[in-house]
Amino acid sequence: MNDRFLEGRTALVTGSTSGIGLAIACRLAAHGARVALNGLGTHEQIDAAATAVRVAGAPDARHFAADLRDPAQIETMMAEVASWSAIDVLVNNAGIQHAVPIADMPVTKWNDILAINLSAAFHTMRLALPGMAGRGYGRVVNIASVHGLVASKDKAPYVASKFGVIGLGKVAALEYAAAGSRDSGGVTVNCICPGWVETPLIEPQVEARRNGGSREDGVRALLAEKQPSLRMSLPEDIGAMAAWLCRREAHNVTGTAMPIDGGWTAQ
């Protein structure tokens, strides 16, 4: 890939040591971005993620640790990244889930899910957006979910957090809509709302629905409940959308919540 339109720019991607976050980091790297990684894992896993991002094309990639439940740690991380390189692209991807009925939901799980999925995005945005506006270019891409557009039972804190991050993004998009110019690229804030995505986490659900058939049979049975396309997205598909939103031509695409859900929310 030789379209390095992010050359000279820096991206921070939270939750980027594996899965969708790592795929986004690699895609931004392929377009020339320097990448600040944040996420959980062993030293070996973190090193492997940074290596993958460099191999994808990043001039540099470093890991910045922070417990995203803690605003003070987020502030420290943001200051450390900014001292390394000013943040031009912010991708809030980190998220957790716990699925049980409301009456059985532990209060600690509610607090942790809201903190990581929603409050952390608020803290990174409030710290990154003023600098983006001052430079005339900035991109915030929040990885929400199809569950930021429609609900499912047993996921109260997850659904609440994803609806919240979409609303938060719309407010920020309005506040920064006039920053920069068409030539500089402006400052935009958008959400991507994936449906089913191919990650190791879904394998037990696929296996449970095979009924002696192939893995593809299991996938189709799983998706038939919600996703009319009957096929999952790849993490790389989410990365491609995130990268497109960073293009200068996307300067007037702001305040959106873009489903990548195979028709789930069209029903």
155-158, long-range: CB within 8 Å, 24+ apart, which pairs?
155/97, 155/99, 156/102, 156/105, 156/110, 157/98, 157/105, 157/109, 157/110, 157/113, 157/114, 157/117, 158/95, 158/97, 158/98, 158/99, 158/113, 158/117
Is 158 part of the annotated catalytic residue set?
A: yes
Length of the chain: 267
Residue 124 contacts by C-beta under 8 Å, 6 or more apart in sequence?
Answer: 12, 14, 74, 78, 90, 92
d(CA 259, CA 37): 25
Annotated catalytic residue within 13, 93, 158, 243: 158
Q: Is residue 74 exposed (0-12), middle (13-18) or buried (19+ Cβ within 10 Å)?
A: buried
Q: Would you say 17 and 45 are in contact if contact means Cβ atoms under 8 Å apart?
A: yes
d(CA 184, CA 127): 21
d(CA 53, CA 61): 7
CA of 47: how far to CAs of 51, 98, 159, in Å? 6, 28, 32
d(CA 195, CA 31): 25
User: What is the set of active-site residues?
Assistant: 158
